Each structure stands twice: as structure tokens, then as C-alpha cells.
Amino acid sequence: MRAVRADLGILACLGADDVDLRALSGLTARHEEHAATVLRVTTGDQPFFDRLRAGATAVTTAARVYTPGRWHGAQFRARLVRHWGVREVVAVPVRGRVRTTAVLIGRDGLDFDEDELRLLTELQPVVSALVAILDLDSLPTPTARLVRLTEREDSILKLLSQGLTASRMARLAGCSPRTVHHHLASIYAKLDVGDRLSAVNRARELGLVDGDTLLLT
């Protein structure tokens, strides 16, 4: 009997700069506490997720997207191990009614081989049909939410952590104060906070800024 060995199933709903991840099966007690930390923030490219955002429909693995040489040292792979307990993951893209959606299948051990990818490709229409009937708004709260800061947002956040005014940040960033406020609003929304102090403290918790440069008042 043809089969795909898997340790974890995840439903991924993607936005332009965020991914809501819901564990469907296989989340062990050892990793449940980590995965329950809903918000995780990254910066830079996300090759695996950016491919899905661009509309890719082929079933493939993260190792193939990154190439094996880059994948073994990738930060995304380290997060998979730390937060989910798996080292390899394959994406089965499906059509979402509102957001780009994919079913991710993860496991420890070796990457998925070509026979497994062919089988998942054959099952893809069935998976798509099942996801199509889901009301994503009625699903449980995501197990984790992965948010990406743009390069400019990351630089503004670091300036914010130094206690600088919007005018001073604008001069250093080479933009207008209005643009700085636009970036700050986006940062607050992504970090799920309402003011600059909360943003800096959340950034410290997430390791996005150095603790010794924090705005504390």
C-alpha cells in the first residue's frame, strides 16, 4: 500500500506578511507549550511561504525550495525543530476562498522522496475539496502566527527602541515623519500592541532588538 509517513499536519493560511498555522495532528506534549506561543516575528525573505504566496500549485518540500545546501542551515528549519519537532516539511497548496492556503506535512528524519510527492500530488484535489468546504473564520485560534516585518519596518523598530522621536527617525531613515508613522502603525498591528513602549518591550521579548537599547519610559 502506498503511504506517506508523517509526524505532523498543519493548515497554513497565508497573508502578504503573515501566516496563521493550525496544528491538525501530531503535536506532541513536548512541543505543545512552545507552539502555543502564538506570535512569532521574523524579518527577511521566506522562500517556502513566498512561493505559495506567488501562486505556486506544485507539491514540494522546503528542502527543494531552499536547495539541500541552504536548507540544513536555514533558520526556518531550526524553528521547525524547536517549535514543532520536525525537520522536514512538504506543502500541498490548495485554493483558499479568501487567503492562500496550504496543508503542510512534517516529519523528523529524511526528506520526502519523489514517490511520496507523486502520491501527495494525486491526493491534492481531494485535499483541496476538503479545505474548500471549511469556514476558516470558525476554526480554532491558530496554534501559531508567523509575522514578517519588512526591511524598513525592522530598521524603524530598531530606531524606535533607542527612544528617538518620529522626526529623528525620519531623518535617519531618509523618509518623512508621515512615512515613519505609517510604518509604526504597521509594526504595532503586526506585534499586536497599541503604543511605542509596548512595541519595544514586545520586540525585546521576541529578540528583535537588543535589550540594552530599550526605551523604558
**Mind listing the pLDDT tens digit for each residue in 80-136?**
998 889 999 999 999 766 678 999 999 999 999 999 999 999 999 999 998 888 777
CA dist 54 and 132 (Å) reads 19
In the chain, alpha helices (H): 29-35, 47-53, 62-66, 68-71, 75-79, 114-132, 151-160, 166-173, 177-191, 196-205
Report the chain's terminal Cα–Cα distance, integer Å. 64
Question: In angstroms, rounded to a whole number, what is the distance separating the alpha carbons of residues 203 and 215?
Answer: 11
Q: Between 97 and 25, whose confidence is greater?
A: 25
Q: Which residue has the higher pLDDT, 134 or 169?
A: 169
Q: How many residues does the chain have?
A: 217
Structure confidence by residue, pLDDT tens digits, 174-193: 999 999 999 999 999 999 89
How high is the pLDDT of residue 178? Answer: 95
What pLDDT is stored for residue 23 in this prediction? Answer: 86
Residue 188 in contact with residue 195, Cβ under 8 Å?
A: yes
Write down the pLDDT at residue 35.
47
**30-62 residue pLDDT tens:** 455 554 446 788 887 899 999 999 999 999 999
Task: Say what the pLDDT of residue 24 is.
Answer: 83
Domain(s) labelled CATH 1.10.10.10 in the chain stretch across: 151-213
pTM of the model: 0.81
**Helix axis angle, 196-205 relative to 151-160, nearest 10°?**
110
DSSP string, 158-184: HHHTTT--HHHHHHHHTS-HHHHHHHH
* Topology of domain 8-144, CATH: Beta-Lactamase (3.30.450)
Task: Output the pLDDT for position 28.
Answer: 53
**Which of 74, 124, 79, 134 is CA-nearest to residue 103?**
124
Please, which residues have CB within 8 angstroms of residue 136's CB and are 6 or more apart in sequence? Answer: 13, 96, 97, 98, 99, 101
**CATH code 3.30.450 region(s) in the chain:** 8-144
Confidence of residue 214 (pLDDT cuts 50, 70, 90): very low
133 vs 154, higher pLDDT: 154
* CATH code of the region 151-213: 1.10.10.10
Letter for the amino acid at 129?
A
